[in-house]
Structure 1
Amino acid sequence: MEYYIKVEPDVNIFVEDLNPTGKKTILFIHGWPLSHKAYEYQFDKLPEMGYRCIGMDTRGFGASDKPWGGYSYDSLADDVRAVVETLKLQNFTLAGHSMGGATAIRYMARHHGYGVSKLALFGAAAPSLTMRPDFPYGLPKEAVTKLIEETYNDRPKMLRDFGDIFLFQYATQPLSDWFFQLGLEAAGWATAACATTFRDETLFSDLEKINVPTLILHGIHDKVCLFPLAEAMKNGIANSTLVPFENSGHGLFWEERDKFNEELTTFIEQ
C-alpha cells in the first residue's frame, strides 16, 4: 500500500506500507540523501517473514513534498510523530539509517518514545556527525560545509562523489547509478538544508532519554559516520547493544544484507 500522510497543512509525507497485517511493525527512516527505496533488500525479505515494514520518505526527499523549510531534527521528528499517530502505530520498532538514525533519536527524546518498543540505529549520524572541541570523533566540519557548497554548485557531481565513499565493498555500476538516482529525487535545497542540520546540530543529551532496548549496527569501515560514533552511542544509551559489521562501510544494509536482516529480526524477536 502507498499513500500520503499530511504532517502540516501544506506538507505531505509519502509512505509505503508493506504487509499491513504483519505480526510486528518496523518503521524505517532512510538516510541522507536517499529515500525509503534504499531499504529494498529489507523490503524484499522481511515482509515475507511476517513483518509489517513501513518506509517513509523524509520531507524534501523521494516522493514526499519538498517545502522550503522544516529540516531541523525537531521538525523531522515531528513528521515521524504525525506518521505514527495517523497509522495508529503501537509497540513498533523505530529504525533509522544515518540522518534517519539521528532523527529517530530525536524522536525518542522529543516525543518520549511515543509508541516505540524498540529502537534500531544503522550507521547513525549521532551524537554528532562532525568533530567538536569535546568530541574529536566525527568528520571535520569543513568537509560537510564542502558538501553543502557542492550541492549548490554541482549536485550531481556531489552525489557521485558521495556515492564513492558510501560503500566499502565493490558495487556494480548499475547499483551505483541506482543510488545516484535516489539522491537526484531529492530537492537541492532540502539536500543542503539537511546537511546543514547534521553539521550543526548534536544529540548528546537525547541519548540519555532513550529508555527502550536499542540495537546499534555500524560498519567498521564507515567513512561518513565514523565507527567511534557507534561506540559513543553505545556508551550514551542505556540498554543498548553494538554489533560491528566487519565488511561494511556506510551502506551496511546492502553490503551485508543477510547479516543485517538477521541481526534486526533477532533483536525484534527478543
Structure 2
Amino acid sequence: MSYIKAGQDANGEDIKLHYTDQGQGKPVVLIHGWPQNHEAWTYQLGELPKHGLRVIAYTRRGFGNSSKPFEGYNYDTLADDLKVVLDTLDLQDVTLVGFSMGGGEVARYMSRHGGARVAKVAFVSAVTPFLLKTDDNPDGVPQPVFDDIQANIAKDRFDFLQSFGKDFYGVGVLSKPVSQAVLDWSFGMASLGSHQATVACAHAFAETDFRPDLATINVPALVIHGDEDKTVPIKNSGARMTEHLKQANYLVYEGAPHGLFITNKDQLNRDLLAFVAGS
C-alpha cells in the first residue's frame, strides 16, 4: 500500500493517507465522499488512465486504510491534507474531482491555498454551496434532518450505514439500480471509517458554508448532479452552483441518485474525460 504523510496527531503519531496512483499524463485527483474511501472510484480508476491521464485517488483521514486521528475533521484541515497530496506528488495543472463531501475539499482548497497547482475543478453530487438551512440560506436542509443522522449514527452506526447505502444508490421497493453485492461492498468501505470521523465529518459537510470559497474559483468548473439524488438534493446543491462559479458547465443526470459514480459510471467517465480534454 502507498501512503502520504500528512503531519502528526496530538500524540505525535504520523497521519498517513492511503492513496493509489494510476497511469501517465495529465493529473486528475479524485476525492471521495462520506463515509466511503478512495476505492469508491473503482470504475473511474479502471477507465480514466486508459486515456492518457494520471489518476490519483486518496482516502481522507479517518476512513479506509488511512490514519484515524481523533481530531482534524474540519474543512481547513482536510484542505491542508489535499495540499500535502498535491505537493508530495509534485502535481501540476491538476483537475480536482470532488464527489459529495469531497466537493467541499475542492472548494476550500481553492480558497485556502489559492488554487495552487490546479487547472480545473469538478463537483460531482457535491455538498456545495451550503446545505444547512439558515436565515440567509432559506432553501437549505433543515437542522432536524442532520440531527436525525447524528442520532442514528449514535444509536447504531452500522445499521445506519446499511440504510444510508440504499438511499445513496436510489434503491427502493421497485427500484434496483445496483446489486446487493454493490450495497455490501459500499457498506464494507463505510464500516472501515472510525466512529469519530464519521460523526465529525457529518457535522463538517452539513454546517460548512462554501459560498465564499466558490467565489474565489477562477478556473473552468464542471458541475454534475443527479435529479433523483435523495442524499444531497439537487435543489440544495447542483442547481445553485452556477450562481457562485464564474466558469461552470452544469450537467444534470436524469433519474440518477447520489452514487452516480456507480449507477452512471460510463456517462460520468465520458463527461470527465471530455472536461479534462477541454471540450
TM-score under structure 1 length normalisation:
0.96
Does 1:208 find its partner at 2:215? Answer: yes
Q: Which residue of 2 aligns with 1:240?
A: 248
Q: Which residue of 2 aligns with 1:14?
A: 18
CA displacement at 1:115 relative to structure 2: 0.3
AA in 2 matched with 1:219: G
Does 1:257 find its partner at 2:276? Answer: no
Does 1:111 find its partner at 2:113? Answer: yes
1:61-91 C-alpha deviation (Å, 9 max, x unpaired): 1110000000001000000001110000100
CA displacement at 1:50 relative to structure 2: 2.1
Correspondences of 1:1-270 after superposition (within 5 Å): 2-9=1-8, 10-19=14-23, 22-168=24-170, 170-228=177-235, 229-270=237-278
* Structure 1 unpaired stretches of 5+: none
State the SS of the aligned residue for 1:174: helix
* Structure 2 unpaired stretches of 5+: 9-13, 171-175
**Any conservation in 2 of the 1:24–1:50 contact (CA below 8 Å)?**
yes
CA displacement at 1:152 relative to structure 2: 2.2
**Any conservation in 2 of the 1:123–1:219 contact (CA below 8 Å)?**
yes
RMSD: 1.1
1:80-132 C-alpha deviation (Å, 9 max, x unpaired): 00111000010010111000011111101111111000001101101112222
CA displacement at 1:233 relative to structure 2: 1.1
- Identical columns (%): 37
State the SS of the aligned residue for 1:266: helix
The worse-fitting range, judged by mean Cα deviation, of 84-93 and 226-235 is 226-235
State the SS of the aligned residue for 1:78: helix
**Any conservation in 2 of the 1:247–1:255 contact (CA below 8 Å)?**
no
The worse-fitting range, judged by mean Cα deviation, of 128-137 and 60-69 is 128-137
Q: 1:222 to 1:138 in 2, by over 3 A?
A: farther
Count of aligned residue pairs for this structure pair: 267
1:181-225 C-alpha deviation (Å, 9 max, x unpaired): 110010011000000111221111111000100000111111111
Distance in 1 of aligned mates of 2:52 and 2:86: 20
CA displacement at 1:165 relative to structure 2: 0.9
